């Protein structure tokens, strides 16, 4: 088999054309074999356009192709268990960056009462107070910016979806739709399951994998996407980085950290507060994964 000048397409000894993606470094995966180069190109392009089809715990929400060159990602607030110091620092970072896009990366509300796990009653709060805390926190973070705003659905938002599935007599109520409970119209935000830039080469998701080893969770996500998309994700509440040169462009993976308090689910002491800042220039992303401490340094600014 010999390579053609078409990326991901190889000619076979039988004269046909195989579409082959580097699903992992050691194990390429053949997507299909086609009679003509045109058919192979069509199949390749369709696959690349649909890479996000696996990125859904809930398909009702769209994948947004966004515009903008200055993006701030705010992940895992878990209101009312947000870390107020981290939120204050995140607000100052937003003010410095003056982004044209703000992405809330999921789990903005904890929905503790709807958890299927055992609950600590000393931690539990009512759902309305969680929603009120989220709204006030989002207003604070967005004050003074006219950025486009997106809310990615996380696994904690899906607690509401599972609850309504178990109680279908309530599911048709507009008042209980997630976007209405979160008051996203008032916040100028759009609900989605992913936000992408650069023709889906850079995708912001909530995330579905977790690891204590920095970068391992996002590497696993990039493996699933055949090393064709750079990924920014949360979910694990830790910060990490993974990068790899790809056949068309360099791939980067970022684990964003969180903006919530330390674990209330167990003895995990590995959670890290952080904000992701992305600047797109010359068709490339420059990503800053900003760790929030008691004293945070960001672009020469000392933030307390």
Same domain, 106 and 157: yes
Same domain, 216 and 141: yes
Average pLDDT over every residue of 129-136:
95
pLDDT digits (tens, 9 = 90+) for 84-115: 999 999 999 999 999 999 999 999 998 877 76
Predicted pLDDT of residue 73: 98
Same domain, 111 and 129: yes
Confidence of residue 50 (pLDDT cuts 50, 70, 90): low
Is residue 57 over pLDDT 90?
no
Same domain, 45 and 67: no
Predicted pLDDT of residue 110: 87
Same domain, 39 and 115: no
Please give the residue that has the higher pLDDT: either 161 or 121: 161
Lowest mean per-residue pLDDT among 2-16, 114-128, 224-238:
114-128
Lowest mean per-residue pLDDT among 73-87, 115-129, 183-197:
115-129
Average pLDDT over every residue of 33-39:
87
Confidence of residue 206 (pLDDT cuts 50, 70, 90): very high
Predicted pLDDT of residue 147: 96
Same domain, 201 and 102: yes
Q: Name the residue with tokens 């990366």.
A: 105
Same domain, 98 and 218: yes
Candidates 108, 132, 113; CA nearest to 123 is: 113
Map residue 245 onto helix, strand or coil. Answer: strand
Same domain, 153 and 287: yes
Question: To which H or E segment does residue 43 belong?
Answer: helix 37-49
pLDDT digits (tens, 9 = 90+) for 247-272: 667 889 999 999 999 876 555 557 99
Long-range contacts formed by 44-53: CB under 8 A, 24+ apart: 44/6, 44/7, 44/8, 44/9, 44/19, 47/19, 47/21, 48/200, 48/228, 49/200, 51/200, 51/225, 51/226, 51/228, 51/229, 52/194, 52/196, 52/200, 52/203
User: Could you give the number of structural domains in the chain?
Assistant: 2
pTM: 0.81
Predicted pLDDT of residue 5: 54
Average pLDDT over every residue of 133-158:
95
Distances (CA, A) of 118 to 112, 128, 135, 200, 266: 10, 20, 27, 38, 11
Q: Which range, 15-24, 118-127, 130-139, 151-160, is most confident?
A: 130-139
Q: Which range, 39-43, 206-210, 222-226, 247-251, is most confident?
A: 206-210
Same domain, 39 and 154: no
Please give the residue that has the higher pLDDT: either 25 or 5: 5
Please give the residue that has the higher pLDDT: either 246 or 6: 6
Same domain, 69 and 22: no
Lowest mean per-residue pLDDT among 31-35, 162-166, 185-189:
162-166
Same domain, 40 and 158: no
Is residue 53 over pLDDT 50?
no
Predicted pLDDT of residue 26: 41
CATH of the domain at 254: 3.60.21.10
Lowest mean per-residue pLDDT among 27-41, 103-117, 137-151:
27-41
Cα(65)–Cα(287) distance, integer angstroms: 18
Is residue 61 over pLDDT 70?
yes
Same domain, 62 and 182: yes
Could you list the residue range(s) of the whole structural domain that residue 62 is in? 58-303
């Amino acid at each position: 088999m010999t390579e053609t000048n078409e990326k991901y397409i190889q000619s076979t000894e039988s004269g046909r054309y195989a579409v082959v993606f580097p699903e992992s470094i050691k194990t390429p995966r053949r997507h299909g074999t086609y009679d003509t180069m045109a058919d192979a190109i069509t199949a390749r392009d369709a696959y690349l356009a649909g890479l996000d089809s696996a990125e859904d715990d809930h398909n009702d929400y769209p994948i947004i192709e966004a515009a903008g060159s200055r993006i701030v990602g705010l992940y895992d607030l878990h209101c009312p268990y947000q870390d107020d110091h981290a939120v204050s620092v995140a607000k100052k970072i937003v003010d410095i960056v003056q982004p044209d896009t703000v992405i809330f990366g999921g789990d903005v509300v904890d929905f503790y009462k709807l958890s299927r796990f055992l609950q600590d009653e000393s931690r539990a709060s009512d759902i309305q107070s969680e929603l009120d805390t989220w709204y006030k926190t989002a207003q604070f973070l967005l004050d003074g910016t006219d950025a486009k705003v997106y809310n990615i659905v996380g696994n904690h938002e899906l607690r509401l979806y599972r609850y309504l599935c178990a109680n279908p007599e309530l599911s048709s109520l507009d008042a209980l739709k997630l976007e209405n409970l979160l008051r996203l119209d008032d916040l100028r935000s759009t609900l989605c399951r992913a936000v992408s830039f650069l023709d889906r080469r850079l995708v912001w998701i909530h995330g579905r994998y977790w690891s204590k080893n920095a970068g391992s969770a996002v590497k696993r996500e990039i493996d699933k996407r055949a090393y064709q998309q750079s990924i920014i994700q949360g979910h694990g509440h830790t910060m990490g980085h993974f990068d790899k040169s790809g056949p068309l462009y360099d791939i980067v993976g970022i684990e964003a950290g969180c903006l919530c308090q330390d674990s209330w689910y167990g003895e995990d002491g590995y959670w890290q507060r952080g904000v992701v800042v992305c600047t797109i220039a010359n068709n490339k992303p420059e990503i800053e994964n900003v760790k929030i401490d008691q004293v945070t340094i960001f672009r020469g600014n000392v933030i307390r």
